[in-house]
Amino acid sequence: MIVSFVMFVLSLVLFLAFQAQGIYTGDSGDLVTAAYIGGVPHPPGYPLYTLLGFLLSKLPFFSVSWRLSLLSSIPHAMSVGLVFLLIYYLTKKNTWAALFGSLLLLSNYLFFLYSTTPEVFAMFDLFILACWFLLYRWQETRNFRYFYYACFVFGLSLTHHHVMAFFVPAFSYFIWKNTHAYKKKLTMRMVFLSILSFLVGLLPYAYVPVAAVRDTIINWDRAVDLSGFVRLVTRADYGTFVSGGGYGETLVERWFAVVAYANFLVTDWSWVGITLTIVGLWALYKTQRIWFWSWVIALLCVGPLFFFYASFPLASRFTLGTYERFLLPSYVLMGVASGIGLGETLRIISGILTPRLTLSKRKAVMVLVFLTFLIYPLTISGITLWRFVGLPKDRTADNMGIDILENTAPGAILLMSQDTALFTTQYVRYALGVRPDTAVIHAVRLPIEGYQASLTKSFPHLVFPKASPATYVEEFVKANRTQSQRIYSNVILPAGEGWYWVPRGMLYEAVPFDELPGDEVMYQDAKAHLTRLHDPRSGILGRYEHLMLSDVLDVYGHAAIALGKTLVRADRWEDARVEFTRAVSYAGDTSIGEALELLGLTHLHFKDCDAALRAFREAKERSIVISPRHIMLESVTFGECVGDEKRASELFSEYERLRSASEQSLEAL
* Distances, alpha carbon 422 to alpha carbons 256, 418, 438, 529, in Å: 29, 6, 14, 19
- Domain end: 498, 515, 532, which one? 515
| DSSP 8-state secondary structure symbol assigned to residue 540 | G
pLDDT, tens digit, for every residue of 43-69?
A: 999 999 999 999 999 999 999 999 999
Residue 669 pLDDT: 41
pLDDT category, 247, cuts 50, 70, 90? low
Assess whether 467 and 568 both reside in one domain: no
pLDDT, tens digit, for every residue of 142-181?
A: 899 999 999 999 999 999 999 999 999 999 999 999 987 6
pLDDT, tens digit, for every residue of 588-624?
A: 888 999 999 999 999 999 999 999 999 999 998 887 6
Mean per-residue pLDDT, 487-505: 90
pLDDT category, 409, cuts 50, 70, 90? very high
Q: Which amino acid is at 320?
A: L
Residue 660 lies in a domain: no
Residue 668 pLDDT: 45
Residue 56 lies in a domain: no
Residue 80 lies in a domain: yes
Residue 329 lies in a domain: yes
Q: How far apart are CA 473 and CA 515, in angstroms?
A: 20
Residue 570 pLDDT: 84
Residue 666 pLDDT: 40
Residue 245 pLDDT: 54
Assess whether 589 and 485 both reside in one domain: no
- Domain end: 348, 371, 390, which one? 390
Assess whether 348 and 433 both reside in one domain: no
- 664 pLDDT exceeds 80? no
Residue 91 pLDDT: 95
Residue 157 pLDDT: 97
Assess whether 92 and 129 both reside in one domain: yes
Q: How far apart are CA 570 and CA 430, in angstroms?
A: 38
Residue 34 lies in a domain: no
- Domain end: 357, 390, 423, which one? 390
* Distances, alpha carbon 156 to alpha carbons 61, 153, 299, in Å: 29, 5, 22
- Residue 73 CB: number of other CB atoms within 10 A? 26
Q: Is 127 helix (H, G, I), strand (E, B) or coil?
A: helix
Q: How many CA atoms lie within 13 A of 448 on its CB side?
A: 16
User: Contact at 8 Å (CB) between 33 and 39?
Assistant: yes
Residue 516 pLDDT: 86
User: Contact at 8 Å (CB) between 387 and 109?
Assistant: yes
pLDDT, tens digit, for every residue of 333-378?
A: 999 999 999 999 999 998 888 888 888 888 898 899 999 999 999 9
Residue 234 lies in a domain: no
Assess whether 555 and 587 both reside in one domain: yes
Assess whether 436 and 322 both reside in one domain: no
Beta strands in 2-125 (DSSP E): none
Q: How far apart are the first and last CA of the chain?
A: 61
Assess whether 347 and 408 both reside in one domain: no
pLDDT, tens digit, for every residue of 168-225?
A: 999 999 999 998 766 667 788 889 999 999 999 999 999 999 999 999 999 999 999 9
Residue 245 lies in a domain: no
Highest mean pLDDT among 248-252, 260-264, 661-665: 260-264
Which of 280, 307, 281 is CA-nearest to residue 293?
Answer: 281
- DSSP tally for the chain: helices H, then strands E: 29, 5
Residue 628 pLDDT: 83
Q: Which of 461-465, 523-527, 624-628 has the lowest mean pLDDT?
A: 624-628
Q: What is the mean pLDDT of the chain?
A: 91
pLDDT category, 586, cuts 50, 70, 90? very high
- 488 pLDDT exceeds 60? yes
Assess whether 506 and 551 both reside in one domain: no
Mean per-residue pLDDT, 110-123: 97
CATH number at residue 550: 1.25.40.10
pTM exceeds 0.75, yes or no: yes
Assess whether 450 and 373 both reside in one domain: no
Assess whether 562 and 438 both reside in one domain: no
Q: How far apart are CA 315 and CA 33, in angstroms?
A: 28
- 665 pLDDT exceeds 50? no
Q: Is 27 helix (H, G, I), strand (E, B) or coil?
A: coil
Number of structural domains (the chain) is: 3
Residue 243 pLDDT: 57
Assess whether 402 and 382 both reside in one domain: no
Assess whether 433 and 505 both reside in one domain: yes
Residue 486 lies in a domain: yes
Which domain, by its residues, includes 566? Answer: 540-625
